[in-house]
Amino acid sequence: MTKPLWAPWRLEYVQHADELEGCIFCVEAAGKVPVDSSMLVHRGNDALVLLNKFPYSSGHLMAAPVRHVGALAELTDAEALELHRLSVAGMDTLDRTYGPDGFNLGWNLGHIAGAGIVDHVHVHVVPRWSGDTNFMPVLADVKVLPEHLLATRDRLRAAWR
């Protein structure tokens, strides 16, 4: 039986994502975020990996090109390859660090498809555990994350190969 992955707390973020000051991927790529509050896990030549500040689950990563590009078809071959490789490396890092039972990987292309940031393409790497959906988000509009985002960032930075 299919188990839904409910994330009702993300609606407020998606509805107001256009109000953000600048593109989070570009701000992180430019090194404009203080190290202690940066969500950057890894930076490659053409792409980078960030923790999602509004995660579906603990360890929810996003891989994005360094270059500000809004359409999947506009990625260079080098960007597409590095995004794929960083997604795989992210899964490996999460697997070794947290041992999830599986992963969801996906592109939300366009606002109607759920993209909170529509003008800078990115792929989501979401670790999943058996039983990770529960009554808290549905009844209490609360997501329980067992670890602070900065602690997760530090663990994943240290474990990245």
Full strand arrangement of the beta sheet holding 123-128: 40-43, 47-51, 61-65, 123-128, 102-107
- With beta carbons less than 8 A apart as the criterion, state whether 126 and 57 touch: yes
SS (H, E, C) 104-117: EEEECCCHHHCCCC
- 122 labelled catalytic: yes
Instruction: Give the separation between CA 69 and CA 98, rounded to whole angstroms.
Output: 31
Q: Which of 42, 60, 122, 124 is catalytic?
A: 122
- With beta carbons less than 8 A apart as the criterion, state whether 4 and 133 touch: yes
Paired sense of beta strands 102-107 and 47-51, if any: unpaired
Active site residues per annotation: 122
